[in-house]
Structure formats: structure tokens, C-alpha cells
Amino acid sequence: MEKHHVEVLYDEKTVADRIREMGEQITKDYAGKDIHLVCVLKGGSFFMVELAKRIDLNVSIDFMSVSSYGGDTKSSGVVKIVKDLDDSIAGKHVLVVEDIIDSGRTLSYLLQMLKDRNPASLKLCTLLDKPSRRVVDVDVDYTGYEIPDTFVVGYGLDYDQVYRNLPYIGHVVFD
């Protein structure tokens, strides 16, 4: 890791409030339905757990892991399934929960793959979005925050596998 420090971008309470709002919106939008959250590991896990607690519906969860990044801050463009879902999503209202959308490569690949498994519906929820970095077009249904092109950590997001446990969203400043 290069020499750096982390500055707070969105503090713990701010993030908690935003996730509560997102949960309330999702609860309204899916009224009368059961919702199946698909978490993209590892980064999406912290967000998904908090979001799930703010959705007032029958919620089931599953996890999958795809990799598009090495130990660097730049996308390699390679997407591979490291761990697939445990359960079928056929006929379910699936909401994919991601930590961040950057180039969009990971999500566009993943969404196409999930669509082929015939869910009743398929939507995407992300805590953070960097629209200026988009290489592949992706429809995002729920976004916590749109951020500029800066490298962020915390709340599940890592820099070389560190900082996922920060209870706030920070950005990395290279000294």
C-alpha cells in the first residue's frame, strides 16, 4: 500500500440515516411482496445487513462472490464467479445489493447472468455510485450516494483488504 490516510466522507450516523431511508423506500416499492436480497461479497455484506434490518417485509438473503479486482485500485476488467448463490432465484423478487458501482463491468455481467435464471423481478441497490467512471451501462434502482471519482473505504469497502470494518465511509488520500 502506498502511504496514505483516510478522511471521513459520510459519518456513521449519516450512513445509518440514509440506509433507513432506502429501506423505507424499498418497503413501499415492494409492498405485498417477499423480497430476496442477493449480496455481492465481500463489500456488499455490511450494507446488506443494515439495509435488511430496515426493510419491513419478508426478507430472505443469499450471497455470491465475483471478482473483478486484484489487490489494486484499478479494474482489471476480468469478472469471475468465485462463489455462486446457494438457492434458485426463479420466481423471486430479487434485489442485488452492492457496495459500489464503478466501471459497471461487474454488475452488468452479474445482472445478465441472474436475469437468465428467471427471477420474477430483478433490481439493483448500491450504497455508492461513481457515475463518472462508468464504462458499461447499468440501470441502478436505488443509490445511497453518488460520489466523484475518489477511492473510498469502510462500510465493507477495502483498500488491499483493509478498512472494511470502518463504521463510516471514508476516502483515501494519498500523501
- For 104, left (φ over 0), alpha (ψ -120 to 50), or beta? left
CA distances from residue 74 to 48, 65, 69, 150, 164 in whole angstroms, order as listed: 24, 18, 7, 12, 18
Taking CB under 6 A as the criterion, the residue among 14, 29, 69, 141 binding ligand IMP is 69
Among ligand IMP, Mg ion, none, what binds residue 14 when CB lies within 5 to 8 Å by partner kind? none
Among Mg ion, ligand IMP, none, what binds residue 35 when CB lies within 5 to 8 Å by partner kind? none
Q: What are phi and psi of 156, to 5 degrees?
A: 105, -20
Say how far apart CA 89 and CA 155 lie, in whole Å: 27
CB atoms within 10 A of CB 5: 9
Judged by beta carbon, residue 29 or residue 164, the one nearer Mg ion is 164
Taking CB under 6 A as the criterion, the residue among 51, 59, 99, 144 binding ligand IMP is 99
Site string for ligand IMP, 25-64 (x = CB under 6 A): ------------------x---------------------
Per the document, the length of the chain is 175
Among Mg ion, ligand IMP, none, what binds residue 157 when CB lies within 5 to 8 Å by partner kind? ligand IMP
Strand partners, 121: 93
Q: At its nearest, how many Å lie between ligand IMP and the CB of residue 151? A: 4
Among ligand IMP, Mg ion, none, what binds residue 103 when CB lies within 5 to 8 Å by partner kind? ligand IMP
93-101 and 121-129: which strand pairing? parallel
Taking CB under 6 A as the criterion, the residue among 12, 61, 117, 151 binding ligand IMP is 151
When asked if residue 126 is in the footprint of ligand IMP (CB under 6 A), the reply is no
Say how far apart CA 18 and CA 81 lie, in whole Å: 30
Judged by beta carbon, residue 50 or residue 99, the one nearer Mg ion is 99
What is the set of active-site residues?
Answer: 102
